[in-house]
Amino acid sequence: EIVLTQSPGTLSLSPGERATLSCRASQGVSSDYLAWYQQKPGQAPRLLIYGASKRATGIPDRFSGSRSGTDFTLSITRLEPEDFAVYYCQQYSKPALYAFGQGTRLEI
């Protein structure tokens, strides 16, 4: 079973700054199988990134995803007020299992 560990638990930044969120897999994960979501209070999650680095439809280009080994990163350049939310990474592992990280809260 692959376990995803997100860090930090909480990230405090100001609008206009850059955010870097990390998601570490306990074992090798294909880049094809890693996604990032944003969730605001009272709302369903929203897909931001799939395939580790592909932006979902309608997602601004200030959101980007990357990978280094078993570490995946979600970067948000020039934070906007609406970007402050909880972010989850999610991975797929064969034969058919999806798991989420515990989340990173991005706060002002």
Partner 1 sequence: QVQLQESGPGLVEPSGTLSLTCAVSGGSITSDNWWSWVRQPPGKGLEWIGEMFHRGDINYNPSLESRVTLSVDKSKNQLSLKLYSVTAADTAIYYCARMPYFYYSMDVWGQGTTVTV
Binding footprint of partner 1 on the chain (CB under 8 A): 32-33, 35, 37, 43-47, 50-51, 56-57, 88, 90, 92, 95-103
CA angle (55 as vertex; 52, 59 as ends), nearest 5: 140
C-beta of 49: minimal distance to partner 1 in Å? 8
13/99 with CB nearer partner 1? 99
16/42 with CB nearer partner 1? 42
13/56 with CB nearer partner 1? 56
| Residue 59, amino acid | I
CA 24 to chain centre: 11
C-beta of 83: minimal distance to partner 1 in Å? 19
**85 touches 38 (CB < 8 A):** yes
**5 touches 55 (CB < 8 A):** no
> What DSSP assignment string belongs to 78-103?
S--GGG-SEEEEEEEETTTEEEE---
C-beta of 103: minimal distance to partner 1 in Å? 5
C-beta of 88: minimal distance to partner 1 in Å? 6
